[in-house]
Amino acid sequence: MSDLARILAIDPGERRVGLAVSDPLGVTAQGLETFDRRGGDLLDHIERVIGEYGVAHVVVGHPLSMSGRPNTSSLAAEALARSIRGRFGVEVTLWDERLSSHEARRAMAGTGVAKRSKGAVDRVAAVLILQGFLDSRRQGGETP
């Protein structure tokens, strides 16, 4: 991966999908508009984002159960990761995101934003997923 290639994070949900992209140096995460699955094809949307931002790596939130076992949502995330890898040929990492939505709601508590925009929680969750990945990589941590 080029030093200036961006990383896209996806917080997959049944209805809404949170998205975040790194800065070109891979230091910080910025939220993108939440994608509503009722508004079109998710893979087509991801293709536009990859092209627009020059994404070379995608991090997909992997919502395992609290025990670490797979569930319906984590299996769907794995299928999405395979589809992205196969269709776009980019590097894809599954990232443990068991508490990202809970952390996002907690971070937004008292702001009133969560009540006005349900997609805001998904966007913040994607930012948390990506920032965790970026921080781990910068610290030389293993990526699951």
Domains and CATH numbers, the chain: 6-138 (3.30.420.140)
Q: What is the mean pLDDT of residues 15-37?
A: 95
Share of the chain above pLDDT 70, in %: 80
Q: What is the mean pLDDT of residues 84-89?
A: 97
Strand order in the sheet with 29-36: 29-36, 16-22, 6-11, 55-62, 91-96
pLDDT of 76 > 60? The answer is: yes
103 vs 81, residue with greater confidence:
81
pLDDT at 16: 94
pLDDT at 117: 67
pLDDT of 37 > 90? The answer is: yes
Distance, in Å, from the CA atom of 13 to the CA atom of 36, rounded to the nearest integer, reads 9
